[in-house]
Amino acid sequence: MLTYFKAFRRTLAVAAVALAAFSLQPGSAQAQSDPTAEPSPGVVGGTRATQGEFPWMVRLSMGCGGALYTQQIVLTAAHCVDGSGPNTSITATAGVVDLQSSQAVKVKSTQVVQAPGYDGSGKDWALIKLAKPVNLPTLKIADNTAYNNGTFTVAGWGAATEGGSQQRYLLKANVPYVDDATCQKAYGSALTPGDEICAGYLAQGGVDTCQGDSGGPMFRKDNAGAWIQVGIVSWGEGCARPGYPGVYSEVSTFAANIRTAAASLGG
């Protein structure tokens, strides 16, 4: 069972990257929403974010999301990158909800830190250093478990339906927290409860992140009313299926490691 789930997760991740890489080829119909598809703008079950609503949201060229941890460092998922070291192959697109906007800020990567010890199970975080700072707000990360509850917001340019195409416009949705014990009932030992936090409408499904949203933030308001990141889109069985919540990296678990890694990238 464990092996099955782990293999399944890897397959999903690889398929997502392969799919996104294909659809991001120059000249292809990348990030076009299909006007004949059902009118469910996605993340699955989401609605369009407005320009500037989530100003720290980043789209990464391998087909993942991310958030500005600093103006020159993007926090994303470990499964979105190939490893650590110098890397000039990634382009980050920031500052826009419309990926085709002429206002888009596009910056290349210079270095990547993939979570030390990442082996496909838990620890699904990575940092990408950008060639230059972008003049946009950053998203602070939770460094304790106080906000690992309530209703979260997720956003991304990923598929709006399971197996669907990547989106041109940023979509958002709200999903409720699902506790570890409940989430483990769905996923068994595939879940690493200390490293992962689950969210979704357990009974009915219908709202979730999906392929291409990986690496993007799951966030909520803190007690002062500011957005705070509590999760990183990681995996799930399908998208928005009843009984299968979305699984997110638990940011508070890794906050100290993220800070150290960011310092190693020169802040």
Closest residue to ligand ARG, based on beta-carbon distance: 236
Q: Is 219 exposed, middle or buried (0-12, 13-18, 19+ CB in 10 A)?
A: buried
Residue 9: CB minimum distance to ligand ARG, A: 7
Rule CB under 6 A: say whether 12 interacts with ligand ARG.
Answer: yes
Residue 64: CB minimum distance to ligand ARG, A: 6
Rule CB under 6 A: say whether 31 interacts with ligand ARG.
Answer: no
Applying CB under 6 A, the site for ligand ARG has a residue count of: 16
Rule CB under 6 A: say whether 164 interacts with ligand ARG.
Answer: no
Containing H/E element for 108?
strand 105-114
Residue 267: CB minimum distance to ligand ARG, A: 28
Please say which residue, 71 or 176, places its beta carbon nearer to ligand ARG: 176
Please say which residue, 71 or 201, places its beta carbon nearer to ligand ARG: 201
Rule CB under 6 A: say whether 122 interacts with ligand ARG.
Answer: no
Q: How far apart are CA 232 and CA 219, in angstroms?
A: 9
Please say which residue, 72 or 152, places its beta carbon nearer to ligand ARG: 152
DSSP 25: S
Q: How far apart are CA 66 and CA 225, in angstroms?
A: 22
List CB contacts of 60: < 8 A, sequence separation 6 or more: 66, 74, 76, 80, 90, 91, 92, 93, 128, 215
Rule CB under 6 A: say whether 218 interacts with ligand ARG.
Answer: no
Q: How far apart are CA 110 and CA 133, in angstroms?
A: 12
Residue 48: CB minimum distance to ligand ARG, A: 19
Rule CB under 6 A: say whether 249 interacts with ligand ARG.
Answer: no
Q: How far apart are CA 124 and CA 248, in angstroms?
A: 8
Pick one of 84, 114, 166, 211: the residue that binds ligand ARG (CB under 6 A).
211
Q: How far apart are CA 22 and CA 155, in angstroms?
A: 22
Rule CB under 6 A: say whether 153 interacts with ligand ARG.
Answer: no
Rule CB under 6 A: say whether 76 interacts with ligand ARG.
Answer: no
| Count of CB atoms situated within 10 Å of the CB of 132 | 11
Residue numbers of the site for ligand ARG (CB under 6 A)?
Answer: 12-13, 16, 158, 208-214, 233, 235-236, 239, 246
